[in-house]
Structure 1
Amino acid sequence: MKVLASCWLKTMLLRFLGYGVLIAVFAALIHVYVVYPLYVKKLPYFANAFRAGFDVECRAAVPTGLDDLLRQISLPFFSLDGQLVFIDSKGHVGRCGVNTGVAPNAEIFRFASMTKVLTGVAMLEVAESLSISLNTPVVSYFPELSLEKVQDERVLRITLRHLLNHSSGLGGPFGSDNMIKQGESPWCPDNLAAMETIRLAGEPGTNHLYSNVAYCLLGEVISRVSGVEYQKYIEQNYLSQYPSLQFIQGEFLPTEPAYDFSNDYRFDESYVSWLDFHAIAPAAGLMGKPEEFARLVWHLYRDNPDVLNAANLQQCREKGLDRCYSNTFVIHEGDNGIKVGVQQGYLPGASSLVAISSRGEVLVWTAPGAPLEAKYRDRMAGEVVKLLLNQHE
């Protein structure tokens, strides 16, 4: 009798534990689905990204861990395709990409805001060659403005330097930066009289907000002081040795990748029918082969090392902002004194990043997809900075 009672008790305990485990697992699954529904829905994609990771290959000498940027961040959280180009201080080129043996990497890619690097350097070179001070008020280049009609007097204090480092106050919530808003026509560069009525988000030099319209204005300044339309000026002075580099005209080219819009919740491929590519050209208009863009940036930095040595944006740092720009780059400085400048890019279905180090190295990453969440853009940038800061240590 005691034996039967003991067996019954053990059986009940095992059932209780078994049911408890099942309930706990079921509750955990419900919790995961409720809290992370997007990740649950993406499980098949993550499985494909894991398999694609085995097809990542690197050619020539690249830094240790460069391929892991594709496997651990780019493939799972951006797109099942992507590539990295690395050029060392001596000009040697290495490349990592996904080689499935079925569809090779497309040649032409939309660089988005990486274009700002070229516009920024062009502005610096024009200013130097023509002895233009970066502290010159921007409105002085636009005689069509009636300064007496400017409703926000802070507009009169915006300088070229403020445009370069995104401290003009033109970003923010007041509609000043409408370069990529569907249904709105940008006021830059064809309706600069709109500057009379815009309201800034803060005092120029103190309000650090990322701004596409700031770089549109820089493009227009380049046009006016050089006497050559911005795109032609860039093509003549910078792109002649890089045949694939060109400005986006609109529709996708056959040589572009199949952009993945699954992580884009506001845009799809139809953006090419309404985005004003002429207006956005100085801020996000370049496209071409990532390797050629990396070579261009490598040569630009060799000739303009001061792009990483602009004055420290102390007030921005004191406010704890993590996107303090200096001559278009976000500058990071390691304990070893090495500096790394980063500029990220995004257009619907396309993510990118360019980084340069004070050692003279250049890294370019492109992926035909948007991030699953914004934090993965920051994670990619952080890992790139860490990799470049720790080179040769």
Structure 2
Amino acid sequence: MSEFKLSKTALLLLSVSLLMLAAVVHLSTTRLKEVNRAFFPLESAVSNLTLRCSEGSPLWLESALISAVKDLKALSGQVALVRSDGSVGHCEIGGLQRFEFLGERVSVQTRFRYGSLTKPITAAAVMRAVADGKIGLDSEIDQILWNGNGHQEKIDWPLKVQVGDLLSHRSGFYQRDRDSVFVVGDKPWCPYSMANLASLKVNRDRPVEYSNLNYCLLGVMLEKVYQKKYRELVNEFFDLEGRGIKFAEYRYEKDEVWHDYRYNQMYSEINRGKFDFYAISSGAGMTGSAYSYAFLMHEIVMSDLGSLLLQGRPDSCDNKAIRNCFGYAFYEYSPRVGELLYVKEGYLPGAAGVVALSQFGDVFVWLGNSDTENAASGELMKKFLVRISNHIHGI
């Protein structure tokens, strides 16, 4: 009798244990992001203890990076500033891997994913093509991309799309086409099957609508006019390899920071977005440090290409609104009278960043290892840019 009672007790304990294990597994698979978000304040407090800056860096760079942890939700990050006079400052925070705050920390060389911060580099390459007489900003893209692919006939678009339209996101492509480069588990038609260009629907009455397809087409265009692969060409133009700038792949590089997906609604460490990384090369494909990016952008802006890159926004747009006044490489943003920034944001699953240029030639870059909470609204990025603008303009 006692043996039977003991067996029942053991069975009850086993059942309870299995139920608890099932609950833990369920929580870890379906509620892991909620759990991670709950721990974020504690992790951010520890992360702040790892902050370090280069000698002579302005104090506001420290506060900018701490606010990026708090508001932009990136436990590991970098900021870099190159002033118009060539002076430099940079700060880093967090661990190379999660929970390594007291181990290997983020350094000035740590690799982050640039996402769409790649686009201004592609835009600079396009401006080089304009300067070389290969194309014009008013060149019709069908004449460059369609002819020469075995097709002599013209595409019957009601209004022709020009190179400048692609750069400034005014191509008028429909929604299903604008993000067709980012497909999971399949090859997008751009850059591999350019005959599909003829099927694109265009409505030039549409307002500015951000498009990743625009920059895939620009990458293909550069390949055609220079007869070189995009990656080889931009490396030749800007010495990316010498700067430690590479192109992202699905796998992580050994010197790449860990990626935090807790604020991403779709992707996770298990499902981190198996895109065609070759296809996104010209729009969101580069990786490197904030320091390398800031120096490269400073050199580009100070070169003959710089004045072209800062143009292209329509006269009628309101630059007091974020993401409203897109030009050829950046959007203009004026948080206050007398303050003007040229801005480009970049996002990939588990990564975010922003570059902000002042009208005086200063270049500020922030890179982080997490998706900004509710990034689509732009409210937290707007708050961050206001802070940066105040400091850059000496307020």
Corresponding residue to 2:198 among 196, 199, 202: 196
**Normalising by the residue count of structure 2, what TM-score does the alignment of the two structures yield?**
0.79
Higher deviation after alignment, 132-141 or 122-131: 122-131
Structure 2 matches for 1:203-242, cutoff 5 A?
203=204, 206-239=206-239, 242=242
Closer, same or farther: CA 59–375 of 1 in aligned 2, 3 Å: farther
Moved over 6 A (4+): 38-41, 318-321
Identical amino acids, percent of aligned pairs: 24
What SS does the corresponding residue of 1:232 show, helix, strand or coil? Answer: helix
Query: Does the 8 Å contact 1:53/1:75 carry over to 2?
Result: no
Amino acid corresponding to residue 326 of structure 2 in structure 1 = Y
Higher deviation after alignment, 92-101 or 104-113: 92-101
Distance 1:65 1:321 in 2: 22
Equivalent position of 2:114 in the other structure: 111
Corresponding residue to 1:173 among 167, 175, 178: 175
Query: Does the 8 Å contact 1:108/1:288 carry over to 2?
Result: yes
Q: How far does residue 89 in structure 1 lie from its aligned partner after superposition?
A: 1.3
CA deviation profile, 1:321-349 (whole Å, cap 9, x unmatched): 84321012011246665531111111111
Distance 2:91 2:36 in 1: 29
Higher deviation after alignment, 176-185 or 107-116: 176-185
Equivalent position of 2:259 in the other structure: 259
Equivalenced residue count is 351
Distance 1:110 1:252 in 2: 10
Equivalent position of 1:9 in the other structure: none
What SS does the corresponding residue of 1:277 show, helix, strand or coil? Answer: coil
Distance 1:40 1:376 in 2: 24
Equivalent position of 1:33 in the other structure: none
Q: How far does residue 291 in structure 1 lie from its aligned partner after superposition?
A: 1.0
Equivalent position of 1:286 in the other structure: 286
Structure 2 matches for 1:321-360, cutoff 5 A?
322-333=323-334, 337-360=338-361
Corresponding residue to 1:65 among 60, 67, 70: 60
Distance 2:298 2:49 in 1: 30
CA deviation profile, 1:171-215 (whole Å, cap 9, x unmatched): x53344211132453111111111211223x317x5311111101
Distance 2:383 2:176 in 1: 30
Distance 1:327 1:260 in 2: 31
Distance 2:273 2:265 in 1: 18
**Normalising by the residue count of structure 1, what TM-score does the alignment of the two structures yield?**
0.80
Equivalent position of 2:91 in the other structure: 96
Unaligned runs of 5+ in 2: 1-32, 95-100
What SS does the corresponding residue of 1:225 show, helix, strand or coil? Answer: helix
Distance 2:346 2:211 in 1: 13
Distance 1:97 1:220 in 2: 36
What SS does the corresponding residue of 2:105 show, helix, strand or coil? Answer: coil
What SS does the corresponding residue of 1:85 show, helix, strand or coil? Answer: strand
Distance 1:329 1:382 in 2: 18
Query: Does the 8 Å contact 1:50/1:76 carry over to 2?
Result: no
Corresponding residue to 2:76 among 74, 81, 92: 81
What SS does the corresponding residue of 2:209 show, helix, strand or coil? Answer: coil
Equivalent position of 1:136 in the other structure: 139
Equivalent position of 2:98 in the other structure: none
Distance 2:309 2:341 in 1: 8
Query: Does the 8 Å contact 1:342/1:353 carry over to 2?
Result: yes
Distance 1:40 1:240 in 2: 39
Equivalent position of 1:47 in the other structure: 42
Corresponding residue to 1:126 among 122, 125, 129: 129
Higher deviation after alignment, 160-169 or 310-319: 310-319
Amino acid corresponding to residue 40 of structure 2 in structure 1 = Y
Q: How far does residue 219 in structure 1 lie from its aligned partner after superposition?
A: 0.8
Equivalent position of 1:182 in the other structure: 184
Query: Does the 8 Å contact 1:139/1:145 carry over to 2?
Result: no
Q: How far does residue 225 in structure 1 lie from its aligned partner after superposition?
A: 1.0
Amino acid corresponding to residue 307 of structure 2 in structure 1 = D
CA deviation profile, 1:111-152 (whole Å, cap 9, x unmatched): 11100010001101211121632011100112137586847x
Query: Does the 8 Å contact 2:178/2:210 carry over to 1?
Result: no
Amino acid corresponding to residue 122 of structure 2 in structure 1 = T
Q: How far does residue 40 in structure 1 lie from its aligned partner after superposition?
A: 9.1
Query: Does the 8 Å contact 1:356/1:362 carry over to 2?
Result: yes
What SS does the corresponding residue of 1:65 show, helix, strand or coil? Answer: helix
